[in-house]
Amino acid sequence: MNHDINIKELQKNCFRQSKVPGEFMLQMRVPGGVIEARHLSLVQHIADTWGNGQFHLGMRQTFSLPGIKYENIEAVNEYIKSYIEDIEVELCDVDMDVNDKGYPTIGARNIMACIGNSHCIKANIDTTTLARKLEKLIFPSDYHIKMSVAGCPNDCAKAQFNDFGIIGIAKMEYDYDRCICCKKCVETCAHHATGVLSVEKGKIVKDTCCCVGCGECATVCPTGAWTRNPKKFYRVIIGGRSGKQYPRMGKMFLNWVTEDVVLGVIGNWQEFSAEILNHKPVYLHGGHLIDRAGYDKFKEMILKGVELNPEAEVADKIYWAETEYRANIHVKPACNTK
C-alpha cells in the first residue's frame, strides 16, 4: 500500500510503528499497574475489532494492542475516550481535557509499580496509590520520564532501572523488653538483606548505617519486638536505564524521605527538563538529562522548594557505574564531539 504516515505524530499519540507498514500498536496507560478488571473487556474489544486479536502485557505495564491498521486509529481513539477518562481523570485526578483524539502525549511514560502493600507481605507502602498521585504530576507532559514504584527494597518493580525509582522503606523500631533473643531477625537480615543485626548482651543491636528498611525483621519477629514506624518513608533512585550503549543501575539520590518530598521532587521534573532542554521536549532519557545537567545542578533544581523531612538523607555525589559494552566508549575524537 502506498502509505504516507507521520509516524512521529502517531508515536506521540501512543501508537507505535509496526514492522508491517501501516500497522501500529496502541499503548494504553495503566498507572501503577493496577486497575479494575472490568477494563479488560474494553481491551478485548479493541483487540478483536481493530487489532489482531492479541494483546501484549507491555514492558512498562501498559496494555499494548498490536496490529491496529492506520485507518482505524481514529475509531480506536474515539473508543478509548472513556478509558482515558476513567483512568486518568477519575482514578488519578489528572488535570486534562479528554477528547476523541486519544492520548495527548507519550512523553512521560506509564508509571510502573509492583502490587505493593494492598497484597504483598513484604511491601512497606501502598504503591498503587502513590503511582496514581505521581501520574497526576507528570501527565500529560511531553517531557520524557520513566518511573517505577517498588513496595520494598526487594525492588520487584525494577526501580533501579528507571529515571526515578521510588522504593518504599520502613524505619524499624525495636522494643527491648519484647525481644526474646531468638535471633530470627539476625538470620533473616543476613539472609535477605544487609546483615546489620547482631546479638549483644542477650538482645539485638543494629548497625544503623546500612539498614535498607526492608522490614524483614518485623515480618519474622515472633513477639512484635521489631515493628515499622507507622510513618512512611521512601528511597529515591535516579538515573537507571537500560539501552544499547551504556546501561546502568540507578544510584541512591534520597533516602528516608517522606511522600511529600517524593511528590515535590517529581513535581519539579518538568521544569528541570524544560530548562536543560531549552524548553524543547525532545526525547532524551532521564538519566542522560541528569548527566547533561550534571548532578549538582540536577540536585539544586529538583530539590527547589522541597522541604526535606528531618530524617532525610541526600546524596552528596554520585558515581555512576555504567556497563561499557565497548571499552572507552566515552572516549571520542576531540574534533568530532557533538
Partner 1 sequence: MSYSVSVKKMNEILKELQKDYKVYAPKRFEKRGRYSDTDLIRYAEISMVEEIVYDEKADFSPKEVIYPITQTLFYFTEHEYKESKVHDKGILIFARPCDINGIKRLDTIFLENGDQEDIYYKRLREKVKFILMECKEGWDTCFCVSMGSNQTDNYSLAVRFAENNLLVEVKDEAFNNLFANEKTTDFTPEFVTSNQVTVKIPEIDNKEILKKVHDLDMWESYNSRCGNCGACTSACITCSCFTTSDVIYSENGRAGERRRVWASCLHEDFTEMAGGHSFRNTPGERMRFRTLHKVYDFKARFGEEQMCVGCGRCTDRCPQLISFATTINRLSEEVNKLKNKKVSQVQAASKEVE
Q: Which stretch binds partner 1 (CB under 8 A): 6-14, 94-102, 172-180, 319-327?
A: 172-180
Of the pair 180, 321, the CB lying nearest partner 1 is at: 180
For 109, which DSSP code? P
Q: Is 213 among the residues that bind ligand SF4 (CB under 6 A)?
A: yes
Q: Is 225 among the residues that bind ligand SF4 (CB under 6 A)?
A: yes
Q: Can you say whether residue 246 is alpha, beta or left, with left for phi > 0 and alpha for psi between -120 and 50 degrees?
A: beta
Which of 89, 182, 249, 315 is in the footprint of partner 1 by CB under 8 A?
Answer: 182
Q: Is 319 among the residues that bind partner 1 (CB under 8 A)?
A: no
For 171, which DSSP code? -
Those residues whose C-beta lies under 8 Å from the C-beta of residue 216, and which sit 6 or more positions away, are: 122, 185, 188, 189, 192, 193
Which of 7, 20, 40, 180 is in the footprint of ligand SF4 by CB under 6 A?
Answer: 180
Q: Is 43 among the residues that bind ligand SF4 (CB under 6 A)?
A: no
Closest by alpha carbon to 145, among 234, 56, 239?
A: 239
Those residues whose C-beta lies under 8 Å from the C-beta of residue 177, and which sit 6 or more positions away, are: none
Of the pair 114, 185, the CB lying nearest ligand SF4 is at: 185
User: What is the smallest separation between the CB atom of 212 and partner 1, expressed in angstroms?
Assistant: 15
C-beta separation of 102 from 77 below 8 A: yes
Q: Is 179 among the residues that bind ligand SF4 (CB under 6 A)?
A: yes
**Contact partner at residue 230 from partner 1, ligand SF4, none, CB < 5 to 8 Å by partner kind:** partner 1
Q: Is 214 among the residues that bind ligand SF4 (CB under 6 A)?
A: yes
Q: Is 123 among the residues that bind ligand SF4 (CB under 6 A)?
A: no
Q: Is 196 among the residues that bind ligand SF4 (CB under 6 A)?
A: yes
Which residue spans within 49-105 are E strands per DSSP? Answer: 56-57, 63-69
Q: How far apart are CA 196 and CA 206, in angstroms?
A: 6
Which of 45, 178, 191, 280 is in the footprint of partner 1 by CB under 8 A?
Answer: 178
Q: How far apart are CA 154 and CA 177, in angstroms?
A: 30
Per CB under 8 A, contacts with partner 1 among 202-241 are 202, 215, 218-224, 227-228, 230
Q: Which stretch binds ligand SF4 (CB under 6 A): 78-86, 189-197, 261-269, 309-317?
A: 189-197
C-beta separation of 112 from 60 below 8 A: yes
Burial per residue of 199-213, b for 16 or more beta-carbon CB atoms within 10 angstroms, e otherwise = eeeeebebeeeebbb
Continuous segment of H or E residues that includes residue 26: strand 23-28
User: What is the smallest separation between the CB atom of 287 and partner 1, expressed in angstroms?
Assistant: 30
x-or-dash pattern for ligand SF4, window 127-166, by CB under 6 A? ----------------------------------------
- Tell me the β-bridge partners of 147: 164
Q: What are phi and psi of 151, to 5 degrees?
A: -75, -25
Binding stretches for ligand SF4 (CB under 6 A)? 172, 179-185, 188-189, 193-194, 196-197, 204, 206, 211-217, 220-223, 225-226
Binding stretches for partner 1 (CB under 8 A)? 117, 121, 123-126, 151, 168, 170, 176-182, 184, 201-202, 215, 218-224, 227-228, 230
